[in-house]
Amino acid sequence: MRLLIIFALLSCIVNSLPLLFQDWSFQPLSLFNFVKKDRLIKLSPTIYQLISEDDKLKLRKKNIKFMDITEQIPIEEAYERGLVNKPNAFSWFDSLFFIGSKQVTHLSKQIPVYNYPKTTKYNSEVKELYKNIDTDLMFKKLSKFTSFFSRYYKSESGAQSAEWLYNELEKIIKPVNDKVNITKIHHNGWDQFSIIVSIPGEIEDKVVIGAHQDSANLILPSVMRAPGADDDGSGSITTLESLRLIIDSYNKNLYKPYNTLEFHWYSAEEGGLLGSVDVFSRYSNAGEVVVGMLQQDMTGYTQGSIDANVEPHFGLINDYTSIDLNNFIKLIIKSYNSIPYHESQCGYACSDHASALENGYPSAFLIESEMKYTNKYIHSTLDTIDRLDWDHIKEHVKLTVAFAFELSLAKELH
């Protein structure tokens, strides 16, 4: 009994130490909890760590971005490859201070270089579609999407919201459902599925437009309401409306892609990009070619910019993204939009574009503004639809449709 008390006291002392161990290569860890560290994450392109589900939530609360790759690399394989150090049960030092992460040589695949268009070619066709952008319809759809108690990927309502979204997509593609494919991507460990709508092109190279469908309240994700109007309800509805416009053009024989065009709605972004990691890992394992991926995570909040006396603008993320694809997006914005872009940074694995990049696919991330002006109400009950600017969301729709047209019709990318 005395020995157990001593062990418990030592564990408490270790976990009560001040923040002397902020270097991720050396983390204090409870003596009795280290065996529960069964999730493998990446904190940067070169730093891996073993943590628990509770630790993941703590990282999210601290706004520390990561990618959960447990399903892609089993723990034993991570030990064998030297990605993380294996705990030594016979070492007091390792028991009290388990070195749970390690910096290794970057293992990500090389990103191909493509010849993205230097000029736009379809201005008249694309701008004709802008006449049909329906913000009232988007408001209606987002009102329903945010009415689910939470879209947290492990919750029953999160699975229900995915079913609702899938049904809405089926309605959109119904006029062309013999030509356009819709697929549920089921994941291991939770019920909320990802969704892919694919418009086949003349070749199988893919252009991907993505958003994440889940939401989370970081106080108690499994208990508290998370409307997720901006994060990422706004991006999901932006992508939904863009698909509606393109399907209408496709149905009227006004558009047929050369490169296959896909629209993705990922599950479990809030759990460490779990859904998109699974999707792009499958693509990589199958040898799929993705010539460009655009992620939009939060497209509707402008009050932060307004309060700072800064013009409404797109936030174009320039770290951990493809420089060449970013330059193409700059061309799209200058040609098609009435607001400018401001470059910004968000760190490693801050949204699903990182999953594409991790698997060797060029990707870009466009958000509602520079990061410092983005919505501060996310991950709470206050991320509500009344805080959104529908003129701004409309600009994101315009950009999405233009990006889809110009890149899916580009024939000389290789």
* Residues classed as catalytic: 212, 231, 269-270, 297, 379
CA distances from 192 to 90, 164, 269, 355 (A): 41, 11, 11, 18
Check: CB of residue 237 under 8 Å from CB of residue 393: yes
What whole-number distance in Å separates Cα of residue 224 and Cα of residue 194? 23
Pairing of strands 259-266, 194-199: antiparallel
Ramachandran angles phi, psi of 150, nearest 5°: -155, 150
Q: What b/e readout covers 141-153, taking b as 16+ CB neighbours within 10 angstroms?
A: bbeebbebbbbbb
Q: What is the DSSP code (8-state) at residue 73?
A: S
SS3 117: coil
Pairing of strands 194-199, 181-185: antiparallel
What whole-number distance in Å separates Cα of residue 18 and Cα of residue 271? 27
Q: Tokens 């760590």, residue? A: 49
Bridge partners (DSSP) of residue 365 are 295
Structure-token pair, residue 100: 């749970």
The dihedral built from the CA positions of residue 170, 276, 300 and 251, taken in this order, carries a sign that is negative
Closest C-alpha among 106, 108, 276 to residue 193: 276
